[in-house]
């Protein structure tokens, strides 16, 4: 299999790696090795890789920046398809329409928009992921979501064909999209509708959001951002704090003392430790408040322990 994958990558000039440590490719710095890793640099290459995996019954997983992923300690038995820098072009198709390839970082897209005096991405600019990852989860912050700006996208489906999806079919809602229901599909570009504003107003908002993140979030520790989705009532961080769980630790996994909504990796936390900690948090919050907390990061690979709170 390794030899045939290498040949496929050679024919599309894609980089190919084996036994790739996922703790070096995720912002949580957690995870064992992935068997195979392909750096996708074109749509034909992506389609060919998907078809190869399907024909050979080889599991595949699309990874953006790895900022919303909790990878298993024993890694991933399959191929990680990574859309990186070579898949991050951006273009304006008219005054207010920005089209980004899905490997572009949100921060860069927001900067490009601001340079063109376009507003709509300021609140999302501090999310440390790609446009593709953001659309997948309908990422959002400060009451703005991808849903507010995305008008369509292109994607490669599970048979390797490129397709277009209109706004209505994107099915965007809180941390949900068409793609969360179809994980075999890979977003290749996202079209966003922005609106004109003054550079001063855009820049002031970006600075404000950035300062709020810096002052409230534990950005100096590895994490996957908010660990739990917003429950039906209230905020996960408030409930966790009220249950006295700030600073609660299992091994090197800790409920951040700065922001109870973040589980952080103090040094060498394992996936198993994070999941055990999350289960404890889930159980205590349920017992004391009646609220059910659900994990937000995507679990990659087969996890050894139970994760009843996912």
Check if the beta carbon of residue 227 is closer than 8 Å to that of residue 262: yes
User: For this structure, is 145 an active site residue?
Assistant: no
Residue nearer to ligand FAD on the CB measure, 65 or 307: 65
* φ/ψ of residue 152, rounded to 5: -170, 175
Reduced to 3 states (helix: H, G, I; strand: E, B; else coil), residue 270 is: coil
Q: In this complex, which beta carbon is closest to ligand FAD, that of residue 117 or of residue 258?
A: 258
| 3-state DSSP assignment of residue 20 | strand
> Catalytic: which of 25, 175, 205, 279?
175
User: Cβ distance 251 to 271 under 8 Å?
Assistant: no
In the complex, least distance from residue 122 CB atom to ligand FAD, rounded to whole angstroms: 12
Cα–Cα dist 105/88, whole Å: 7
Residue 269 structure tokens: 């936390």
Classify the phi-psi angles of 207: left when phi > 0, otherwise alpha if psi is within -120 to 50, otherwise beta.
alpha
Query: CB 176 → ligand FAD: shortest distance, Å?
Result: 12
Give the nearest distance from C-beta 281 to ligand FAD in angstroms. 18
Quote the least distance from Cβ 219 to ligand FAD, whole Å. 6
Least distance from ligand FAD to the Cβ atom of residue 3, Å? 26
Query: Which residues in this chain contact ligand FAD in the complex, by CB under 6 A?
Result: 27, 61-69, 83, 102, 127-130, 132-134, 136-137, 139-141, 179, 186-187, 217, 219, 223-225, 298
**CA dist 276 to 248, 257, 270, 308, Å?**
11, 18, 10, 10
> CB 141 → ligand FAD: shortest distance, Å?
3
From 226, 256, 273, 279, the catalytic residue: 226
Using the minimum distance from each CB to ligand FAD, give the nearer residue, 218 or 289. Answer: 218
Q: Is 206 helix (H, G, I), strand (E, B) or coil?
A: helix
- Smaller CB separation from ligand FAD, 117 or 167: 167
In the residue annotation, 152 being an active-site residue is answered as no
- Which CB, 102 or 270, lies closer to ligand FAD? 102
* One-character DSSP codes across 52-99: HHHHTT--EEEESSSTTEEE-TT-EEEEEEEE-GGG--EEEEETTEEE
> Which of the 8 DSSP states describes residue 207?
H
Tell me the CA end-to-end span of the chain in Å, nearest whole number. 33
Considering the complex, state which of residue 129 and residue 285 has its C-beta at the smaller distance from ligand FAD.
Answer: 129
Q: Is 214 a catalytic residue?
A: no
Give the residue numbers annotated as catalytic, written as ranges. 175, 226, 296
């Amino acid at each position: 299999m390794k030899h045939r994958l290498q040949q496929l990558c050679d024919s599309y000039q894609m980089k190919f790696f084996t036994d790739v440590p996922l703790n070096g490719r995720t912002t949580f710095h957690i995870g064992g090795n992935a068997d195979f890793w392909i750096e996708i640099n074109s749509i034909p290459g992506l389609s060919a890789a998907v078809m190869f995996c399907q024909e050979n019954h080889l599991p595949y997983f699309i990874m953006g920046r790895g900022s919303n992923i909790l990878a298993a300690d024993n890694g991933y038995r399959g191929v990680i398809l990574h859309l990186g820098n070579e898949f991050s072009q951006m273009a304006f198709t008219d005054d207010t329409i920005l089209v980004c390839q899905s490997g572009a970082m949100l921060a860069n897209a927001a900067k490009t928009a601001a340079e063109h005096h376009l507003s709509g991405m300021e609140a999302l600019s501090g999310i440390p992921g790609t446009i593709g990852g953001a659309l997948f989860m309908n990422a959002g912050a400060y009451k703005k979501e991808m849903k507010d700006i995305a008008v369509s996208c292109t994607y490669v489906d599970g048979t390797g064909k490129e397709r277009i999806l209109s706004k209505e079919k994107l099915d965007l809602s809180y941390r949900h999209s068409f793609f969360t229901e179809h994980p075999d599909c890979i977003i290749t570009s996202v079209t966003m509708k922005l609106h004109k504003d003054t550079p001063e107003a855009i820049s002031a908002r970006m600075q404000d959001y950035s300062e709020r993140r810096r002052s409230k979030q534990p950005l100096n520790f590895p994490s996957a951002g908010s660990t739990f989705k917003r429950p039906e009532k209230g905020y996960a961080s408030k409930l966790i704090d009220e249950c006295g769980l700030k600073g609660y630790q299992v091994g090197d996994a800790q409920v951040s003392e700065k922001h109870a909504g973040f589980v952080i990796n103090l040094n060498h936390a394992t996936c198993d430790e994070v999941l055990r900690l999350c289960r404890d948090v889930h159980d205590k919050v349920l017992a004391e408040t009646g609220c059910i907390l659900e994990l937000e990061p995507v679990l990659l690979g087969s996890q050894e322990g139970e994760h009843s709170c996912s």
